[in-house]
Amino acid sequence: MYTRPFPGRPRPGVALRALALPLAALLALSACSSGSATSSPGSAARAELAALPKATPSALAPYYGQKLTWRSCGVPGFECATMKAPLDYAHPGAGDVRLAVSRKKATGPGKRLGSLLVNPGGPGASAVGYLQAYAGVGYPAQVRARYDMVAVDPRGVARSEPVECLDGRAMDAYTQTDTTPDDRRETGELVDTFKEFAEACGAHTPKLLRHVSTVEAARDMDILRAALGDRRLSYVGASYGTLLGATYAGLFPKRVGRLVLDGALDPSLSARRLNLEQTGGFETAFRSFAKDCVRRRDCPLGTKVNEVGPRLKAFFTRLDQHPIPTGDADGRKLGEALATTGVIAAMYDESTWEQLREALTAAIKDKDGAGLLALSDSYYERDPDGRYANLMSANAAVNCLDLPPAFATPEQVEKALPSFEKASPVFGEGLAWAALNCAYWPVKPAGEPHRIEAKGAAPIVVVGTTRDPATLYRWARSLSRQLASARLLTYVGDGHTAYGRGSSCIDSTINAYLLHGTPPAAKKRCS
């Protein structure tokens, strides 16, 4: 799942905080792992993630014994290092992967509590970038005083031997591909686009593509724990970062320190169920936006809540036939695909709703698509020079390797369309078709949906937001029931994730846990 910096005029604690990309949405983006295409939509996995042996295998001893050489990052207050991990844990002698690590030492006062590893999600978001831009300076001062703040870019992501697929111009074309095909010709074009993307990824990073799974990334985190000199791992993971953290707990339950899993994923569900439920999550967020919009004098989508969805859908349909200018230096126009991405981007946090209203007003009334294009570009991590971060490439690589695809053929998508459109009349069709992306991946998937119990782990805090668009509250409830030592902390509100978003109740509860090891009371709710 998964974080793009929130687009527009983000406030501290929102931009670069947590990334959950839509599971199937927007072509290659799958906010979390895909489930089995053969599983029924409601099926839960019976398999359980098994803990690894307590003793470190001798073949991995050189990795666990390595000493990190810290150097200046060029960012004041931060140090950087490079860590080695085996490319293939089954064959440690077959080569290494080099991972980028960054830290900011505890500032004091107070006794140092060790390292606090952070991850903002994705998969594909840079944890190092998140640390240096937000967590290392924006986390509560009392937490930064007691912990060394640490991040590692997971294998295949950003500074850690990134997965490479398409160049900037090809990515521009890719992000504009129509994901609501009207006929067989357009369906064929969409399938060809998915195939071209997958083939490019396979051509550029064929070996790495087989070893970017969540399980491998979680094992890398344990090597980092040892290299940092910590007996147990303390960690705050948001969105997809919750899957990474829960996987660590399942593999190394006795090495769990203080784990916060904010905006949790449910590893036990099939991809089709995950994608379908997340589609409904974006619809819930959109309804909250609609209720807010019609109370404003500048709402461009009507004065009644039941008008907003149909009018937005009609706008998307017009763009499908007649894209509008954006003033973009590369000549891009705003079509249905980019406009949909821009709207979805604004669903992550209510602070961007004003920006979305302004962008929609300009697009609908003045035929100026610049505002929605800016939202879309921020979501995709496209810079003004037309270069993309490797977010989309890494996102697809991790998700398509973790588990089998939601759909194997266009015919399966067509059969599922009614359920997706029922879940979201506005976004359902596009999100259903986008879930086809992993069907053509050049590497076979490595697992199936599974439960994570982490028996014997110290208390783990799972945080769920009741109207989270990207990681549904029911997923947090499910994960908290799977993890043997979990405590569920509920935020009653809108937006993606909860920590650092303005709730003093949430923040003080998590801070008490991180600083004193005190988990929240059972069934604690905040607003």
Nearest-angstrom CA–CA distance, 304 and 291: 8
User: Which residues span the domain enclosing 54?
Assistant: 19-163+209-269+448-526
Q: Residue 36 sits in a domain of what CATH number?
A: 3.40.50.1820
Q: Is residue 89 part of a domain?
A: yes
Tokens 């792992």: give the residue: 33
Q: Is residue 106 part of a domain?
A: yes
Q: Is residue 463 part of a domain?
A: yes
Closest by CA to 434, choosing from 457, 461, 406, is: 406
Q: What is the 3-state secondary structure (H, E, C) of 72-89?
A: ECCCCCCEEEEEEEECCC
Average pLDDT of the residues in 457-479: 97
Nearest-angstrom CA–CA distance, 405 and 309: 29
pLDDT in the model for residue 35: 36
pLDDT digits (tens, 9 = 90+) for 349-379: 999 999 999 999 999 999 999 999 999 999 9
pLDDT in the model for residue 270: 86
Q: Which residue in 153, 262, 468, 494 is the catalytic one?
A: 468
- Contact 452/481 with Cβ under 8 angstroms? no
Phi and psi torsions of 241, nearest 5°: -60, -20
| 91 labelled catalytic | no
pLDDT digits (tens, 9 = 90+) for 133-154: 999 999 999 999 999 999 999 9
In this prediction, residue 9 has a pLDDT band, given cuts at 50, 70 and 90, of very low
| 211 labelled catalytic | no
* Mean model confidence pLDDT for the chain: 91
Closest by CA to 442, choosing from 393, 515, 492, is: 393
pLDDT in the model for residue 517: 97
pLDDT in the model for residue 34: 36
Average pLDDT of the residues in 472-492: 98
* Residues counted in the chain: 527
pLDDT in the model for residue 21: 52
Q: Is residue 313 part of a domain?
A: no
Residues 6+ apart with CB under 8 A from 53: none
pLDDT digits (tens, 9 = 90+) for 275-325: 999 999 999 999 999 999 999 999 999 999 999 999 999 999 999 999 999
pLDDT digits (tens, 9 = 90+) for 163-175: 999 999 999 999 9
Nearest-angstrom CA–CA distance, 516 and 139: 16
For residue 326, the SS3 value is coil
Phi and psi torsions of 238, nearest 5°: -115, 140
Number of domains in the chain: 1
- Contact 2/121 with Cβ under 8 angstroms? yes
pLDDT in the model for residue 489: 98
Q: What angle do CA 470, 475, 479 make, to 5 degrees?
A: 135
Which tokens is 19 given?
A: 């990334």
| 182 labelled catalytic | no
Q: Is residue 189 part of a domain?
A: no
Residues of the chain with pLDDT > 90, as a percent, come to 88
Q: Which residue in 39, 239, 378, 478 is the catalytic one?
A: 239
List the beta bridge partners of residue 463: 262, 489
Phi and psi torsions of 86, nearest 5°: -70, 135
Residues 6+ apart with CB under 8 A from 201: 163, 164, 165, 209, 393, 396, 397, 441, 442
pLDDT in the model for residue 3: 34
Task: Name the residue with higher pLDDT: 271 or 384.
Answer: 384
pLDDT digits (tens, 9 = 90+) for 83-104: 999 999 999 988 999 999 999 9
Closest by CA to 234, choosing from 520, 521, 478, 511, is: 511
For residue 79, the SS3 value is strand
Q: Is residue 441 part of a domain?
A: no
Task: Assess whether pLDDT exceeds 90 at residue 210.
Answer: yes
pLDDT digits (tens, 9 = 90+) for 413-446: 999 999 999 999 999 999 999 999 999 999 999 9
Q: Is residue 457 part of a domain?
A: yes
pLDDT digits (tens, 9 = 90+) for 105-131: 999 999 999 999 999 999 999 999 999
Q: Which residue in 126, 270, 496, 507 is the catalytic one?
A: 496
**Residue 270 Cα to chain centre, angstroms:** 17
Nearest-angstrom CA–CA distance, 71 and 81: 6
Task: Name the residue with higher pLDDT: 81 or 273.
Answer: 81
Nearest-angstrom CA–CA distance, 63 and 56: 10
pLDDT digits (tens, 9 = 90+) for 12-54: 233 333 444 544 434 433 333 333 333 333 444 568 999 999 9
pTM across the whole model? 0.92
Which tokens is 397 given?
A: 């690589």
- Contact 443/404 with Cβ under 8 angstroms? no
pLDDT in the model for residue 403: 85
Rg (CA), the chain: 22
pLDDT in the model for residue 279: 95
Q: Is residue 310 part of a domain?
A: no
